[in-house]
Structure 1
Amino acid sequence: MAQKLKKNTAIALGNFLSQFKAEGNTKNPDVLNNNLFYDDFTDLIALSQSHNGWFTPEQVYFAIRSWAEALTEANLNEWLSRYDFSNVQPKTVGLILAGNIPLVGFHDFLSVLISGHKVMVKLSSNDQKLLPFLAKYMISVQPELEESITFVEGKLENFDAVIATGSNNTARYFEYYFKDKPSIIRKNRNSVAVLDGNETKEDLIDLGEDIFRYFGLGCRNVSKLFVPKGYDFKLFFEAIYQYGDIIQYEKYANNYDYNKAVFLMSLFPLLDNEFLTLKEDTSYASPISSVFYEFYDDLENVKERLKNDEEMIQCVVSNNLIENSIPFGQTQQPKLWDYADNVDTLTFLNKI
């Protein structure tokens, strides 16, 4: 199928998703096949939290809005203009998806299809409903896609390449199991923010979005702060106060209580505001409801550290303190050309 048709299908999906917003859904009569899908998707969003307790309507709506904003003609043209898929021989690409945040595997799914390959998807048990629904919508717009999309429940078999996402432990298994196939194996990564004390309250409010969106479950969530020696966290705590309602979610509250208790029993000194703990720690991966921090004397040392640890880091957030860092509040709204782990998925798919 011509890439233009697939691109148009992605645009149609973006138009469909743009109807759904946390502040209220608005049915657009011009959206393709809306009568077949609108009500069912409304119901699916409402039921998502019963399928996965972390997938609250607010978080699902955010993921949907992010994809609606990404899947525009202008964005798709900019993304695809860098590649030539005219010599692609269609292969079957297996996807082993994570389920930590809603639709976390959709970028890989779209990349495989739009590059001219067939996709074979093994869903995470934590996110089994949303992607198959979007696939069904895309097939309704372009029926030829049906032969290019397969969802499997058991073992992946009869595939030519694989993109697998998991923990550092499962990655070792993936690397062994898929050693004879072209592959992208994604491991645990975390995101960090680098502060210098000159941030405004608005900057730190935006940083709160990077910390709390999806309850901190994504690899693009900030889980570690680098702050100058003597940094006063008072303004930080004032800024993030507006996210305090997060403690109303039982699963988050349970994690907060548990992790705080573990820290206190271990006699770790903590900063705490009753919904987030801050712990001084050299690690990057903090538990849910906690952020680690580390003091620095010299920003150049932080830059060197981040360079050395780049395989452990997904995003760096700062006010231009670090080269190629992301502005506060933007980590969970990546562009189509912002690839996970900085591995260009479309270049990989173009070469298999």
Structure 2
Amino acid sequence: VPLTKELTIRDRYKIQEQVNFFEVTKLNRLGKGYDIKLTRPQSYRHLLSIISHYTGYLEGIVGRKLQIHEVAEEWYNRIFLPFAEGAYLDDILEKYPNRTTGDLYVWIQMNWEEVKDSLGDRISFLAKPVPVVEQETQGLGLTYAPGIVRSIKRQYIRAHIGLVVTCVVLNIAPNGELSIAIVKRKYHPFEDYWSLPIAMLSENETRYDAARRCVRHALGIHGRLGFVQYKTFDNVDRTPYGRMIAFGMLGIHYGESMRMSAGGIASEVKLVDLGHDIELVYDHNQILSEAFEFIHRTSSSFSFITEVFPDNIPLKYVKKVYEKIERLKLRTK
């Protein structure tokens, strides 16, 4: 960790806390994504205490002494990752731009009694904290905030199974070029990974409403974009952070360059040419491939063409879409 003259005593203390945390847990040796970022004073000490108590909990199960670094990866994958993905999908951190997923996790642990009082018994195992030492709450630099709890309740504490929309947005340029919209994730631990736009369903919306909200928020597309659900992805292990069922939603845009602007959970958005090889997170490459397969199967369906393709698109471009996807299928066989 570089030390410079510009660092304050507080900065040096935080760096020392961080160094101590990773020396004990060894999480930073596991690769990209494991270097948990915390901004509040003493947060690394609080987090180490949480993992230490989780270690004690597992020792009671396995019947032997465990080192914290043996348990840290287990804690990260089974507890922190599901939590982080819930915060990511609900876009909670947009309300607190100077805080991180780790800050939010520590805040909830240290405010657990207030959170529990607000939620009653509707708490899943993944969100329930292991015991922590009673200490003064550092928080998010805020007093206890019921708004955070409402977001948590709605998205990842109340339900054991998550429902998300994963959107494939196909752009057809006036010259016939075809491209797909993808987003670069903004927040740790998924920072800088490319994915299809995704959003978790709220209680009061359909999957079609969620898809339109998803592209409006992540891609900055505010025009009317029709969607059709082409498949449900429900493999038990499709994500590393718990049970998550995804509705594959296909939308097609035609016209001048689609105006997009990164927002919410996305730090960057871009269009990639259809057929361009790009590695996406989780099973998103499969979800994209299944969208192409769906379009190929419906090539003779007039109702599908009228439902999904924009009204202003010339039929020659509809034909070009099917021809391009047919070539992609032949190439991948």
TM-score above 0.5: no
TM-score, normalised with respect to structure 2: 0.30
Q: Which has the larger radius of gyration?
A: 2
